[in-house]
Structure 1
């Protein structure tokens, strides 16, 4: 009845589950066995002395030493800086001397007369007693827009010379087949010796000078001479008998006498024909270039007059003639 006599309106009693007798006994037993544990106490440290690994077994015997920076003395620093400055100054002086030398070479090249340059054509060996007579350099003398046509004229002259040499061989074969054709063989040698240097001087060098210095006089001189050269090519390709040329007429006349000689002569006749055709084509090409240069006949006359007046040979001849005339006039006055 005691449970029924309790007051249901009274405050309930707080019940703490940890105040149970069995829980309290378990907690007190754990606290007594553990206590306050400190792993760094002497007793605890002593337990692991036998199991620790010495440092000397895991690391190298030599301790790590950081490199120390060596500071140079002010005298050494100044000496090194002075040596560096001297080296730079020598390098600058060397470059300045090299630039000055190149500039002087360019200035001398621009101011020097093309005729005063060292001759390099024909390319003869140095031990040869005859020295080169002309200076020729397409890359340096001839402008780029005229360089190709000028080289073609040079190749035409070489082909012209080779054809004259082959003409000697063909006329020699002609002479062996017919003893009465010795005149052709002799004239073929003369044409080779005469026309090879004359063609170089009279029409190749003028066109080279014309393209080099844009000379109207050189252009007109080239046109005048080369026109006759084309006419000579045509005559040589025709092959008039006893004229020293292995042309078509002479070669065809030998077909019945000696076929081998006739074939050789026909080859040379074909070369003369090619020379004539190339001569006409290159003459027209040079004329088209001439029209683009602005050259004219009046400029040619002016260049000719200036060239004659500035020629030392002409000046000396004119001075001698004037002196002789003056002396003659003075002697005539004294006689009177």
Structure 2
């Protein structure tokens, strides 16, 4: 968000859209990350149920794609990624470019880390013998209620 503030101050034509998007991400990503990939993988490891692993793979996969999207940094999307950073440096806006470079590096580091853990979780899931058929059976037996209860 800080990089998007400087992109706006630097005079980017869509700087307001970028800042608005980044503020939106600030409020949307934390609760969604907890509900859609942190909690399912926690439940997957604690309960060793295939359904949670598949929930994580689905939503965690979307998060990996979102990370790539943020790294690219398409203007007007709320990202101060690579494209935005190159534009800021080429227009002589050093502070916005440097902050964009930090944002791009941060998203890259987060994306690589997420991909590493995604792969580790996939290996664990495969070694434990979880299958899509098991996940379907768990969903049929327990339904969504199991997601919200302990034990």
Classify the secondary structure of the residue corresponding to 2:143: helix
**Residue in 1 aligned with 2:149?**
none
2:42 to 208, 211, 215: 208
Q: Does 1:244 align with 2:44?
A: no
CA separation in 2, counterparts of 1:301 and 1:183?
41
Structure 1 runs (4+) greater than 2 angstroms displaced: 308-311
2:11 to 178, 189, 192: 178
**Residue in 2 aligned with 1:88?**
none
TM-score when normalising by structure 1: 0.41
CA separation in 2, counterparts of 1:169 and 1:303?
44
Distance 1:178 1:310, change over 3 A: closer
Distance 1:201 1:176, change over 3 A: same
Classify the secondary structure of the residue corresponding to 2:89: coil
**Residue in 1 aligned with 2:117?**
282
Distance 1:179 1:284, change over 3 A: closer
Classify the secondary structure of the residue corresponding to 2:76: coil
**Residue in 2 aligned with 1:137?**
none
CA separation in 1, counterparts of 2:21 and 2:63?
17
Which of the pair is proportionally richer in helix?
2
Task: Note the 1:34-45 alignment, pairs <5 A.
Answer: none
Distance 1:310 1:221, change over 3 A: closer
- Does structure 1 retain, via aligned residues, the 8 Å contact 2:8–2:16? yes
How many residue pairs get aligned? The number is: 144
Structure 2 unaligned regions, length at least 5: 147-151
Q: Higher mean Cα deviation, 247-256 or 292-301?
A: 292-301
Task: Note the 1:284-303 alignment, pairs <5 A.
Answer: 284-303=119-138
Deviation per residue, 1:80-103 (Å, 9 max, x gap): xxxxxxxxxxxxxxxxxxxxxxxx
Structure 1 unaligned regions, length at least 5: 1-167, 312-336
Task: Note the 1:1-336 alignment, pairs <5 A.
Answer: 168-178=1-11, 180=13, 181-257=15-91, 258-308=93-143
CA separation in 1, counterparts of 2:24 and 2:132?
35
Q: Give the aligned CA root-mean-square deviation in angstroms.
A: 1.6
TM-score when normalising by structure 2: 0.90
